[in-house]
Amino acid sequence: MSATIRTEALSTRKPLRQRLSVGKGWFPYFLVSPTLIIIALVAAYPIIDSVRLSLLDNPLIPSGSTFVGLRNYIQIIGDPAFQGSIGVTIIFSVTSVALETILGLGVALLMNKAFPGRGLVRTAILIPFAFPTIVSATIWTLMLNAQNGVLTYVFQSLHLLAPGDSLLRTTPGVITAAILIDVWKTTPFMALLLLAGLQVIPNELYEAASVDGSNRWQQFWRITFPLLRSALLIALLFRLLDALRAFDLFYILTGGGRQVQTIGLYSYANMFVGTTFDFSPGVAAAVILFLICAVVGVVVVSFSRISRN
């Protein structure tokens, strides 16, 4: 009986070439295995090791590292500086991404129209995005300088700032400056992502809607926005994750100071600024930031799947 079963199993077993054929068997997994290995080495291992370090005390000293559990997390959650960094991160991320989405959608709708020089305009709007964040922040810091900054002079002339005052001297001012810089730099990125989504919408739908007597506003809400939802969610995912981990922009604007911190800047300050080598609380802050980004990513991807259905 067992010999019969073994014979039937061998007869029904697919040959090696068929099991390794494209789209069947293990061959697709074999093709992506190098990528998975690289991701595990450069992403998964650092994340796991960071979680391990956040559970230790003095992790850089082999003889002095001890397991402390969630003590580092409890310590930073009760730290007013960390609580303030969460507020700064949320205000900056939500406000900047909202403005970039609105402005980027408007720019994308304009560039989706046929007009002379459209290709040149599409290339020109990428100039702000081409600048590294450090370069952009440095340029804007000079323009916001209290003594000779051109934007400071304009704001003072419009009575938005008092004489001798600067936007970078207060916490709300630094957050406002960071939002302005981020919107100026990243709106073109949002515009191009949304433009790609607009260009796959068939023109026949708009022609049929025009024949039925619908106006531009009705066409936008009933055709453009529903079909653009997937591209919009992808753009929001990229920008939210990038804004939540903002570090270099605030570092340049504040000179690395502690008065205005995002979660990323708080983590850096605890790990590398000061005389102590016990940077476990900073690692714990970085892990919390990773968890926040992971939750945001899962929520946005879930909404994207729902919109497709």
> Residue 5's pLDDT band (boundaries 50, 70, 90)?
very low
Q: Is residue 21 one of the residues assigned to a domain?
A: no
Q: Is residue 297 one of the residues assigned to a domain?
A: no
Q: What is the pLDDT of residue 183?
A: 93
Q: Is residue 44 one of the residues assigned to a domain?
A: no
pLDDT tens-place string over residues 256-298: 776 788 998 988 888 877 655 557 888 999 999 999 999 998 8
Q: Is the pLDDT of residue 36 over 60?
A: yes
Q: Is residue 187 one of the residues assigned to a domain?
A: yes
Q: Is residue 237 one of the residues assigned to a domain?
A: yes
Q: Is the pLDDT of residue 204 over 70?
A: yes
**Rounded average pLDDT over 83-91:** 92
Q: How many domains does the chain have?
A: 1
Percent of the chain with pLDDT over 90: 20
Domain of residue 95, CATH code: 1.10.3720.10
**Rounded average pLDDT over 196-225:** 83
Q: Is residue 57 one of the residues assigned to a domain?
A: no
Q: Which pTM does this prediction carry?
A: 0.82
Q: Is residue 194 one of the residues assigned to a domain?
A: yes
154 vs 212: CA distance, rounded Å: 50
**Rounded average pLDDT over 235-264:** 87
Q: Is residue 27 one of the residues assigned to a domain?
A: no
Least confident of 67-71, 101-105, 275-279: 275-279
Average pLDDT, the chain: 82
User: Residue 124 is part of which domain span?
Assistant: 86-259
